[in-house]
Amino acid sequence: MTQNQNTLPLNQILLTDCINLLKSLPDESVDLVVSSPPYNLGKEYEARKALEIYLEEQTIILQECTRILKNTGSLF
Ligand SMILES: C[S@@+](CC[C@H](N)C(=O)[O-])C[C@H]1O[C@@H](n2cnc3c(N)ncnc32)[C@H](O)[C@@H]1O
């Protein structure tokens, strides 16, 4: 599902896989991304993955964040 820039959800917490959500958002539609990604250290809330797979997934996520950010946007 691709979202129209004028129908982006406001003031909502969306519990979903961030990759699917990011891919549904239009280019240059977001002012701010604040992320606390998994560390891949085997913390209690994460399953440790092979480093190559972890880096591949995080690269895709960061590419999507870059795509959806406005030119004036920020990512933390
Ligand atoms: C470093 S922790 C965040 C800790 C949080 N900032 C805190 O202070 O409690 C990373 C979180 O990302 C979640 N996570 C991992 N992969 C995800 C994904 N693809 N989509 C959404 N959340 C994900 C994990 O379940 C975990 O809760």
Token pair of 19, please? 């990759």
Residue 15 CA to residue 46 CA, distance in Å, equals: 16
Does 3 reside within a domain? no
Task: Write the CB contacts of 46 (distance below 8 Å, at least 6 apart in sequence).
Answer: 38, 39, 40
**In the predicted model, is pLDDT for residue 4 greater than 70?**
no
Distance (Å) from CA 35 to ligand 1 centroid: 8
pLDDT tens-digit series, residues 51-74 = 999 999 999 999 999 999 999 999
The predicted pLDDT at position 5 comes to: 64
pLDDT tens-digit series, residues 8-20 = 778 899 999 999 9
Instruction: Name the residue range of residue 30's domain.
Output: 16-75
Number of domains composing the chain: 1
Q: Which of 23, 41, 45, 57 to mutate to test the pocket of ligand 1 (most atoms within 8 A of CB)?
A: 45
Q: Is the pTM of this model over 0.85?
A: yes
